[in-house]
């Protein structure tokens, strides 16, 4: 941790190939130092006249409450710190826009009610889902091996120009993507991350082409800033 001074660089290097988990209790500088490894799969340490680059490709899973106390989304709750919306905005501002732009999937997870625990289990269990994921990964590995891309085994690791070619949305999906990119004010990074996710969703469905439904679902997972822009 003394190498980078932020407590993140060595951690993400040690987490290479693993799943890392964070919450917004780290300071802003430490969180933003994740931007480079999330983008390039590498972390660079520069000191005086020396610079060294470590491999650091990992899957980041992050969770945070909607506000400091975690109750802002509960019906009828009134925050003591002021209006709920202001409390939520202040807390979520700990994560910068450029960092959030690097997340492929962002979802809201409501509190589980006691009645929900009595519901029957979903028809598709974890084992079945794992089989679909493994099949989709095998398809992606074979896809990029056929393209001669050494070291690329998934849609997430594919270069942007390659993603545009392998995703190739149909006419209806492309029209949706163009409209959404303007309405949601997607960055170039966000645009390509949507394409990567849509291609992955199509792989999970066993589909050869990326359809409108795949793109619509991928767009629904964008961050709160882009969803707010679309709703405005």
Same domain, 153 and 79: no
**Helix, strand, or coil (residue 197):** helix
* The pLDDT of residue 84: 79
* The pLDDT of residue 202: 96
Q: Flag whether 2 is in a domain.
A: no
Average pLDDT over residues 203-212: 93
Picking from 103, 107, 134, the residue whose alpha carbon sits closest to that of residue 34 is 103
With contact defined as beta carbons under 8 Å apart, do 192 and 155 qualify? no
Same domain, 114 and 72: yes
With contact defined as beta carbons under 8 Å apart, do 57 and 19 qualify? no
Computed over every residue of the chain, the mean pLDDT equals: 83
* The pLDDT of residue 22: 61
Picking from 170, 175, 173, the residue whose alpha carbon sits closest to that of residue 218 is 173
Measured CA to CA, the distance from residue 232 to residue 221 in angstroms comes to: 17
With contact defined as beta carbons under 8 Å apart, do 60 and 37 qualify? no
Same domain, 95 and 19: yes
Same domain, 146 and 197: yes
In tens, the pLDDT along 110-138 reads 888 888 888 888 888 899 999 999 999 99
pLDDT above 70 as % of the chain: 86
Same domain, 15 and 89: yes
Average pLDDT over residues 64-86: 79
In tens, the pLDDT along 2-41 reads 344 454 544 555 555 565 566 777 788 888 888 888 888 8
Same domain, 17 and 100: yes
**Helix, strand, or coil (residue 145):** helix
Tokens of 89: 């905005």
- In sequence order, what are the residues at sequence separation of 6 or more whose Cβ sits closer than 8 angstroms to the Cβ of residue 91? 24, 64, 65, 66, 67, 68
Tokens of 58: 């990992």
What's the burial of 190, exposed, middle or buried (CB within 10 Å: 0-12/13-18/19+)? buried
* The pLDDT of residue 135: 96
What's the burial of 128, exposed, middle or buried (CB within 10 Å: 0-12/13-18/19+)? exposed
Average pLDDT over residues 150-178: 91
Which range of residues forms the domain containing residue 188? 127-231
- For 212, the enclosing helix (H) or strand (E) is helix 212-220
Same domain, 152 and 199: yes
- Tally the domains of the chain: 2
Phi, psi (rounded to 5 degrees) for 7: 75, 10
With contact defined as beta carbons under 8 Å apart, do 184 and 219 qualify? yes
With contact defined as beta carbons under 8 Å apart, do 182 and 230 qualify? no
pTM of this prediction? 0.81
Domain boundary residue among 118, 152, 170? 118
* The pLDDT of residue 149: 93
Same domain, 60 and 156: no
């Amino acid at each position: 941790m003394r190498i980078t001074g932020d407590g993140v660089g060595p951690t993400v290097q040690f987490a290479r190939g693993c799943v890392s988990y964070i919450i917004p209790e780290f300071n802003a500088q430490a969180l933003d130092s994740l931007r480079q490894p999330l983008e390039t799969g590498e972390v660079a340490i520069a000191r005086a006249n020396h610079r060294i680059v470590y491999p650091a490709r990992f899957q980041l899973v992050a969770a945070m409450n909607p506000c400091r106390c975690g109750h802002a989304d509960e019906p009828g709750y009134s925050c003591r710190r002021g209006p709920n919306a202001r409390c939520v905005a202040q807390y979520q501002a700990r994560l910068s826009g450029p960092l959030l732009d690097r997340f492929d999937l962002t979802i809201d997870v409501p509190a589980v009610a006691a009645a929900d625990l009595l519901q029957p289990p979903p028809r598709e269990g974890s084992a079945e889902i794992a089989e679909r994921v493994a099949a989709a990964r095998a398809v992606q590995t074979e896809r990029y091996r056929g393209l001669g891309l050494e070291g690329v085994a998934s849609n997430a690791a594919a270069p942007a120009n390659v993603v545009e070619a392998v995703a190739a949305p149909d006419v209806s999906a492309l029209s949706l993507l163009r409209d959404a990119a303007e309405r949601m004010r997607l960055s170039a990074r966000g645009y390509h991350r949507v394409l990567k996710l849509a291609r992955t969703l199509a792989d999970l469905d066993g589909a050869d082409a990326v359809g409108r439904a795949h793109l619509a679902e991928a767009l629904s997972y964008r961050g709160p800033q882009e969803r707010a822009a679309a709703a405005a």
